[in-house]
Amino acid sequence: MQSSLLRTCRILALLLVAAAVAGCGTQTMSLTNGIAATQPAASVPKFSHIFVIVLENRAYDQVIGNQQESYLNSLAHEYSLAEQYYGVSHPSLPNYLALIGGDTFGISSDCTDCFVNQTNLVDQIEASGRNWTAYQESMPHACFMGDAPPSYRQKHNPFIYFDNIRNNPARCAKIVPFTQFASDVSANTVPDFAWITPNMCNDGHDCPASTTDAWLRTVVPQITGSPAWRDNGVLFITFDESEKADENGCCQYAQGGRLATLVISPLGKPGFRSSIGYDHYSLLRTIEASWGLEPLNKAACACTPTMADFFQ
């Protein structure tokens, strides 16, 4: 009798939880390996163009409120900021691979010869009929392999690590020095997907935060002033990882520290701050969701929400 009553109570409790989740209205909840992910009910808009800038090695609270990064903070105030966004690993390279591959592929160092034979975002972009370019500041020439001290490091160029990009001359030719970006903007020939890696100084790795801020002050207006961005485009600015010991994270794969991540778009909510937990896989999934692409690897996890709450 008592055991039957207990079973009945447990069933009723489960039904109540299910009803509460179903009735949330603005959010649905998914649970994977005990990690709950909050998924915004809104959908990701279809962006005309997507820009991504990845900076280096600063924690959220080293960036937000930092007077040396007044321009970046002004962008966070004017546009949108993810308050609970995390890297997925340490050191740099695994995070970069995660952003376009949906996985770290077992790589846990900044190796220069650890190539990956896997599907990636470039495959998806091209299959959808769109084009792309990876702009690498201080890269000596297109499709360059290796490091070029003091300013260029291969570990910040995830595209060169994928076999089907590096070994395909037409694709590899789309990994170009950043000097081409200004001319592409001027000629209104910016690709549908534009990835930008600053050099080792301007990304904040080897130089003060004020240097990064000055670089952004020059580059971001080129983007937001372009027809590509103004016509329903989006710019994501994030960091690869945080060196601070904030490893608990928000999400199942959030093992790279809490990061300041900005969402800058005419389709976005002005002055918006999101408290939903995101990581690099969420950014990849958001890009894929916008363009109707199947999420890759860990971007497909039920624990990986899209960043839909940033948009109108």
pLDDT digits over 255-310, tens only?
999 999 999 999 999 999 999 999 999 999 999 999 999 999 999 999 999 999 99
Tell me the residue range of the domain where 222 lies: 30-310
User: pLDDT value at position 250?
Assistant: 80
Residue 260 belongs to a domain: yes
For 160, other C-beta atoms within 10 Å of its C-beta total: 20
For the segment 230-243, the average pLDDT, to the nearest whole number, is 96
User: pLDDT value at position 312?
Assistant: 83
Total domains in the fold of the chain: 1
Partnered with residue 274 across adjacent β-strands are 82
Residue 8 belongs to a domain: no
Strands (DSSP E) found in 75-153: 80-86, 132-136
Strand 132-136 and strand 175-177: pairing?
parallel
What does 167-179 look like in DSSP terms, one character per residue? T-HHHHTTEEETH
Residues 6+ away with beta carbon under 8 Å from 83: 60, 273, 274, 275
For the segment 5-13, the average pLDDT, to the nearest whole number, is 40
Residue 215 belongs to a domain: yes
Please give the mean pLDDT across all residues of the chain. 89
12 band by pLDDT with thresholds 50, 70 and 90: very low
pTM of the model: 0.88
Residue in 113, 172, 105 with CA at minimum distance from that of residue 146: 113
247 band by pLDDT with thresholds 50, 70 and 90: low
Give the whole-angstrom CA distance, residue 158 versus residue 209.
Answer: 23
Residue 4 belongs to a domain: no
Residue 43 belongs to a domain: yes
Instruction: Evaluate if residue 245 carries a pLDDT over 80.
Output: no
Q: Quick: pLDDT tens for 36-53.
A: 455 555 699 999 999 999
Residue in 263, 309, 262, 255 with CA at minimum distance from that of residue 281: 255
For the segment 115-123, the average pLDDT, to the nearest whole number, is 98
Residue 149 belongs to a domain: yes
Phi, psi for residue 104 in degrees, rounded to 5: -95, -10
**In whole angstroms, what separates CA 66 from the centre of its chain?**
22
Residue 164 belongs to a domain: yes
Give the whole-angstrom CA distance, residue 134 versus residue 52.
Answer: 10
Residue 20 belongs to a domain: no
30 band by pLDDT with thresholds 50, 70 and 90: very low
Domain CATH number, residue 282: 3.40.720.10
User: pLDDT value at position 29?
Assistant: 35
